Amino acid sequence: MSDRLSPALRAAAAKLGPQGRTALYSQGGSARRAQTGADIIRHFTGQSAAEKLLRETFVGADQDLQDGTARLAAMFEAALAASNKAVAAGLHPTVLLRAVSGLFPQVNAAFASCTSAFDDPAPVLRAFDLPEDAAEGLREAIIHAGRDGHVEVSDHPEEGVAFAVSQGFIADMEPLLGGTLTDMDRVFVLVVNDVIQDLKPLLPVIEGFAKSDKSLVIAARGLEGDARKVLERNRVAGILRVCAFVPVDKGPRTAEVLTDLAIATGSVMISEETGHSLDRLTPDMLGAAIGLKRQGQRITFLDPKGDEEEIALRLKVIAAEVARNRYLSLDREHTQRRQSRLAGRWVELSVGPDAAAPGLTNEVRRALSSIRSAQAYGTIEGAGRGLVRVADLVDALDAHSQEERAARRIVSGALRAPAEKLRVNVGQDAGYADWDADVPKVSDPVDLSRSLLEIALSLALQMMTLEAAVLRN
């Protein structure tokens, strides 16, 4: 099994360190380049049970962690080799699994003792070797967004890197009425977690808007039938300054966005869950903002008038959701986006094409993900040095039985593997005296490093149990 996996693992681990190393594969009669360790594993593995498990694990890790799959390859290969030796010495894989699991409280304590607080994005950025303008653009975007703000990276057709800072509450919403509205002043906001079909309950409020210079914004799950027709007629006739939107996010996420909007603007949410209905709507149930701007599907409520304490409480709830979704990249990103938009800190970073750095946008996204992880949980020394420090602490732990000693060797070997692979990749042997002096000072997110170790150890021991099952069969 190990022989079958080794070529792909060695190719993936070769991505560590010096930039420019790559792996080529053939597809459709043309040569393609694998950009990450996960890409290499995806294209360089076959259809055996072990290879499928390896591929699925690496693809999942790449989606959830967004970085580190070359390190994962080095860690896993070392852990698998040490596990093979332990099994060959007579230890059963399930015994090894329990022993390694029993080490984790002490391993976590070792990581904690080697962790530093995040105070500068530069050491984390340095590990990615981004072009100077991309690194500087990302650094500036992070500074403008702040710790709780959100940076969204997007492709840009023109060369170069630029960012735009948005203020106010932002939501991605589709219009429910016609027209080419882009700006509104003195906005009042009605938020309804339902499809509006009957306009009669709204008529007293609408009449008040028709007699003033105020603007009405309706955010709902939908607008149908006579309600839509009446609002459209009044809008076209210029009697009523009104627009209506539905969130782009569907399903349960629609309610999340509508709730965030209601709290940001001080609206009373109309829904069965809150006990408020359109039949009892009064003007004081509407939220407010100084203005509204629309760019495509992006709606910005300028200077929304929500209660600061209510917003702070909602942000705590969303922060807890971010923590729960820490290993679910898509859910985590969606929740972080909501958090930053409600907090009013939002930066969009546009990355143009760079002939010298293909795949630059994805590299910037990976760097951003690492920086956010470092901000949240701290850093350890990069280039494998921090992992070696953790390994030294693991080696110093007491081990009273054969399985405990084997577990310690497996964990320590996985921790030391990235630094050893880096030495090989830069052409230095293990005894090179000036290694630390020559390697630039970089930092790695501690949570990413710890997660990679957990995945590598879990996968190696799963492979051992898989191999044992196959042999019994």
Cα dihedral sign for 326, 330, 331, 335? positive
Top-confidence range, 195-209, 220-234, 443-457: 443-457
From 377, 402, 432, give the residue that closes a domain: 377
Helix (H) or strand (E) holding 85: helix 69-88
pLDDT for the residue 245: 92
| Buried-exposed string 184-220: b where 16+ CB fall within 10 A, e elsewhere | beebbbbbbbeebeebeebeebbeebeeeebbbbbbb
Domain shared by 398 and 287, yes or no: no
Query: How far apart are alpha carbons 161 and 349 in whole angstroms?
Result: 7
Residues facing 183 on adjacent strands: 293
Q: Looking at the domain assignment, is residue 217 inside a domain?
A: yes
Task: Report the C-alpha dihedral over residues 329, 331, 333, 336, rounded to 10 degrees.
Answer: -130
Label residue 360 by pLDDT band (50, 70, 90). Answer: confident
**pLDDT confidence bin for 21, thresholds 50/70/90:** low
Q: Residue written as tokens 């407010």?
A: 288
User: pLDDT: is 410 or 369 the higher one?
Assistant: 410
Question: In 118-150, which positions are buried (b, 16+ CB within 10 angstroms) versus exposed (e)?
Answer: beebebbbbbbbbbeebbebbbbbbebbeeebb
Q: What is the span of the domain harbouring residue 199?
A: 169-306
Q: Which residues contact 174 (CB under 8 A, 6 or more apart)?
A: 245, 246, 247, 248, 297
Query: For residues 414 and 424, which has the higher predicted lDDT (pLDDT)?
Result: 414
DSSP for 369-406, written as a single string: HHHHHHHHH-EEETTTHHHHHHHHHHHTS---SHHHHH
CA atoms within 13 A on the CB side of 265: 34
As a whole number, mean pLDDT of residues 3-7 equals: 70
Residue 463 in domain: yes
Higher pLDDT, 46 or 298: 298
**Which residues lie closer than 8 Å to 423 by C-beta, 6 or more apart?**
429, 430, 432, 435
Residue 219: per-residue pLDDT: 92
User: Which DSSP string do the residues of 277-304 spell out, in sequence order?
Assistant: -GGG--GGG-EEEEEEEEETTEEEEEEE
In a domain, 233, yes or no: yes
Exposed/middle/buried for residue 73 (C-beta within 10 Å: 0-12, 13-18, 19+): buried
Are 289 and 304 in contact by the 8 Å Cβ rule? The answer is yes
Q: How many CB atoms lie within 10 A of CB 409?
A: 19
User: How many Cβ atoms sit within 10 Å of the Cβ of residue 30?
Assistant: 6
Distance of CA 364 to the CA centre of its chain: 13
* Closest by Cα among 261, 272, 334 to 301: 261
CB 374 within 8 A of CB 123: no
- Which tokens go with 394? 């693991």
Q: Is residue 349 in some structural domain?
A: yes
In angstroms, rounded to a whole number, what is the distance separating the alpha carbons of residues 44 and 23? 9
Same domain, 372 and 385: no
Q: Which residues contact 207 (CB under 8 A, 6 or more apart)?
A: none
3-class DSSP assignment, residue 102: helix
Domain co-membership, 158 together with 240: no
288 and 359 part of one domain = no
Do residues 371 and 294 both lie within one domain?
Answer: no
Q: Do both 217 and 291 map to the same domain?
A: yes
Q: What is the pLDDT of residue 29?
A: 59
104 in the same domain as 131: no
Claim to verify: residue 288 and residue 248 sit in the same structural domain:
yes
**At CA 22, angle to CA 19 and CA 26, rounded to 5?**
160
Domain membership flag for residue 155: yes
Q: How far is CA 190 from CA 258, 259, 260, 279, 282, in A?
A: 10, 11, 13, 13, 10
Q: pLDDT class for 415, splitting at 50, 70, 90?
A: very high
Q: What is the pTM of this model?
A: 0.69
Same domain for 176 and 76, yes or no, is no
Whether residue 438 has pLDDT greater than 50 = yes
Categorize the per-residue pLDDT at 412 as very low, low, confident or very high, splitting at 50, 70 and 90.
very high
Identify whether residues 177 and 155 lie together within a single domain.
Answer: no
Domain boundary among 335, 359, 377: 377
CATH number at residue 127: 3.30.260.10
Given this model, what pLDDT does residue 452 score?
92
Q: Residues 268, 276: contact at Cβ < 8 Å?
A: yes
456 belongs to a structural domain: yes
The CATH number that applies at residue 108 is: 1.10.560.10
Say yes or no: 367 and 422 in one domain: no
Report the distance separating Cα 196 and Cα 277, nearest Å: 11
- Give the 3-state DSSP-derived string for 115-176, with helices as H, strands as E and coil as C: CECCCCCHHHHHCCCCCHHHHHHHHHHHHHHCCCCEEEEEECCCCCEEEEEECCEEEEEEEC
Query: Do 426 and 417 contact (CB within 8 A), yes or no?
Result: no
Pairing state between β 346-351 and 150-155: parallel
Q: What is the pLDDT of residue 109?
A: 94
Same domain, 272 and 392: no
Percent of the chain scoring above 90 in pLDDT: 22
Q: How far apart are CA 93 and CA 90, in angstroms?
A: 9
Number of structural domains the chain divides into: 3
Higher pLDDT, residue 142 or 1:
142
Report the 10 Å Cβ neighbour count for 473: 5
Confidence of residue 471 (pLDDT cuts 50, 70, 90): very low
Residue 328 lies in a domain: no
* In-domain check, residue 324: no
Whole-angstrom distance, CA of residue 294 vs CA of residue 272:
29
- Chosen domain end from 377, 396, 423: 377
In the prediction, which pLDDT does 470 show? 45
- Residue 193's pLDDT is 92
Range of 56-65, 239-248, 461-470 with top mean pLDDT? 239-248
